């Protein structure tokens, strides 16, 4: 029997919520809908959904804050943001809050369905060892805790952003192995668009700066193919 994926959907606009929920149910998903963050967070802890769809603007709160609360303990469950905001900074804020994808309103149901399928089938994008539960790594002379989002060098500790931590964890899980650029983008950003590609390059530059105290650590750009974390 095929797995029935559980989706937690938070949207306070009744008509849009009804259309999206009905469409997802027709596609075979089990959907829990909430119009505000507090009830949604309680349901998340009770049900452990496979994917979350969060409206950015919510009563008494917002989708970014809800995502941050979830990312405190859960780095893996995919999150899609829905919003009428269109500025680049809004997109960046969404990703830095822990989102995997970002859809601007109005959007087509077909586009939402495609993005959901990509995020729920991401095991095909990366080698099997990516599913490891390991959250702590010794990277050369650094110690990295992906759950706490900290990178320690002796007594000094750097607090990484959510996206930096996700990206570094991905490299650690595939140390000395080539990660294709499109696979990284689809796994962490949920979309391999040009904008996201440029964003990823910026984050990789930030990680290189964080790791520069140990010259044995290198994140190598293999032109036209992807990136590789090499130590030693």
150 vs 122, which has greater pLDDT? 150
Cα–Cα distance measured from residue 212 to residue 111, given in angstroms and rounded to the nearest whole number:
40
pLDDT of the residue at 95: 74
User: Is the bond preceding residue 106 a cis peptide, omega within 30 degrees?
Assistant: yes
Q: What percent of the chain has pLDDT over 70?
A: 92
pLDDT of the residue at 87: 67
Closest by alpha carbon to 100, among 123, 86, 82, 87? Answer: 82
User: To the nearest whole number, what is the mean pLDDT of the chain?
Assistant: 86
The two structure tokens encoding residue 162: 């959510």
74 vs 29, which has greater pLDDT? 29
Query: For residues 126 and 167, is the Cβ–Cβ distance under 8 A?
Result: no
Query: For residues 1 and 13, is the Cβ–Cβ distance under 8 A?
Result: no
Lowest-pLDDT choice from 46-50, 126-130, 151-155, 183-187:
126-130
Query: Which tens digit of pLDDT belongs to each residue from 151-176?
Result: 999 999 999 988 899 999 999 998 88
Query: Diameter of the chain by CA atoms?
Result: 56
Cα–Cα distance measured from residue 141 to residue 6, given in angstroms and rounded to the nearest whole number:
41
CA distances from 182 to 40, 178, 193 (A): 32, 12, 9
Instruction: Kindly report the pTM of this predicted structure.
Output: 0.55
Estimate the crossing angle of helix 88-96 against helix 194-210, to 10 degrees. Answer: 50
Query: Which tens digit of pLDDT belongs to each residue from 54-65?
Result: 999 888 888 999
pLDDT of the residue at 128: 45
Query: Which tens digit of pLDDT belongs to each residue from 86-145?
Result: 666 766 777 778 888 888 888 899 989 988 988 887 544 444 444 446 889 999 999 999
pLDDT of the residue at 1: 61
224 vs 39, which has greater pLDDT? 39
């Amino acid at each position: 029997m095929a797995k029935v994926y559980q989706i937690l959907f938070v949207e306070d606009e009744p008509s849009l919520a009804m259309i999206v929920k009905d469409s997802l149910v027709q596609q075979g998903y089990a959907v829990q809908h909430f119009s505000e963050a507090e009830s949604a967070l309680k349901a998340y802890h009770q049900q452990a959904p496979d994917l979350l769809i969060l409206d950015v603007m919510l009563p008494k709160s917002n989708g970014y804050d809800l995502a941050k609360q979830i990312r405190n303990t859960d780095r893996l469950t995919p999150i899609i943001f829905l919003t009428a905001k269109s500025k680049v900074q809004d997109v960046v804020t969404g990703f830095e809050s822990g989102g995997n994808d970002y859809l601007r309103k109005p959007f087509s149901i077909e586009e939402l369905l495609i993005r959901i399928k990509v995020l729920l089938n991401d095991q095909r994008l990366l080698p099997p060892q990516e599913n490891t539960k390991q959250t702590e790594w010794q990277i050369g002379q650094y110690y990295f805790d992906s759950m706490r989002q900290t990178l320690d060098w002796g007594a000094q500790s750097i607090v990484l952003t959510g996206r930096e931590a996700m990206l570094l964890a991905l490299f650690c899980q595939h140390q000395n192995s080539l990660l294709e650029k499109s696979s990284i983008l689809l796994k962490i950003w949920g979309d391999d668009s040009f904008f996201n590609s440029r964003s990823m390059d910026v984050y990789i530059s930030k990680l290189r700066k964080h790791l520069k105290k140990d010259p044995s650590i290198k994140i190598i750009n293999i032109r036209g193919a992807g990136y590789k974390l090499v130590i030693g």
